[in-house]
Amino acid sequence: MVDIAELGQRSRAQAGTMVDRLRQLVHQESPPGAVRRLHDCADLLESWISPVLGRPAVRVLHDGLPHLLWPAEDQRVLLLGHYDTVWPEGTIADWPFAVADGIATGPGVCDMKSGIVQMVTALSLLPDTSRVGVLLTCDEESGSPTSRPLIEQQALRSRAVLVAEPSTEDGALKVARKGGSMYRITVQGRAAHAGVEPHRGVNAAVELAHQVLAVRALATEGTSVTPTVLSAGSISNQVPESATFCVDVRAWTREELDRVDRMIHAMTPWLPEAALVVGGGINRYPLQESVALPLLELARLAGRELGLPPLAGAHAPGASDAN
């Protein structure tokens, strides 16, 4: 039986250690795809978690990227997180870790290095971690292209998966998430001199402009279709021969993701003699509330026992490995 009062005292006593660890983890930069930096960050995480669990990590390498796995033999719960961030290497020089008025800031604090520190602290407070598995990946910000099979494998071994992504600002637990799709659309035209013979060209930039507007028109209430990165041409006095743009799609239902996916893959050129190549597709289907509500009820029960304020559930527009 857990002594709730003692657990509260022990957790509060960890506050200083948590801030110190968060500072270390934030200053250990981990940009997407930066293999050396990611291995350095993995070393730090191993040094914290392996002693707490009493078992070594399995460093699973895919394309050089180090995913950290501590499997449990009779795994009931999987704690899942990612230690890559969206911030490029060197950001820490201009934006160092800081704490002011009880709020920590710095690259990766929110998404999701603070969650990892909370995870490590919670593990250190548990009397028995023998049935808890831990998986920390390093490509979530890129859509989890190499870690997804590992995540699915370990999730299937577990009765519950808890993802240490941040709660909402008011502390609500995220029980539903939009699904997401990612596309890269390439336009092929024909180059020509912009001054001497523009009529001989097929302007890929003009085709791109029409396709961007067509894609944007696929959005509906609750479904966002957002053109993001655009590129066309290489020199200023030439009709662009090629162009590309990326599209980010978010939706609350599987049906909506499927609809937009069909429409994007069915796109046809607007200009005669232009050609389109559509790459990408659905990355993650939505996390449905019905799947997560049983875990929310368990969290509410545990929260009451710990004397915490009532826990609420929330729907998040962003996708994650929780999907």
**119 located within any domain:** yes
The total number of structural domains in the chain stands at 2
Q: Which CATH number is 271's domain given? A: 3.30.70.360
**Same domain (yes/no): 144, 69:** yes
**Same domain (yes/no): 93, 153:** yes
**pLDDT of res. 7:** 81
Confidence of residue 1 (pLDDT cuts 50, 70, 90): low
Distance from C-alpha of 165 to C-alpha of 22, rounded to nearest angstrom:
15
**Same domain (yes/no): 212, 147:** no
What is the per-residue pLDDT across 134-149, written as a single tens digit (0 to 9) for each? 999 999 999 999 999 9
**289 located within any domain:** no
**Same domain (yes/no): 147, 190:** no
**Same domain (yes/no): 155, 228:** no
Q: Which CATH number is 18's domain given? A: 3.40.630.10
212-241: buried (b, 16+ CB within 10 Å) or exposed (e) per residue?
Answer: beebeebeeeebbbebeeeebbeeeeebbb
The domain containing residue 262 runs over which residues?
179-284
Distance from C-alpha of 68 to C-alpha of 48, rounded to nearest angstrom:
12
Active site residues: 84, 140
**Same domain (yes/no): 183, 161:** no
Distance from C-alpha of 49 to C-alpha of 26, rounded to nearest angstrom:
17
**Same domain (yes/no): 154, 187:** no
Distance from C-alpha of 74 to C-alpha of 283, rounded to nearest angstrom:
30
- Please give the angle made by the CA atoms of 297, 299 and 304, to the nearest 5 degrees: 95
**Same domain (yes/no): 185, 140:** no
What is the per-residue pLDDT across 239-264, written as a single tens digit (0 to 9) for each? 999 999 999 999 999 999 999 999 99
What is the per-residue pLDDT across 22-57, written as a single tens digit (0 to 9) for each? 999 999 999 999 999 999 999 999 999 999 999 999
Indicate if the alpha-carbon torsion angle 149, 319, 255, 182 is positive or negative.
negative
CB atoms within 10 A of CB 174: 21
Distance from C-alpha of 247 to C-alpha of 264, rounded to nearest angstrom:
10
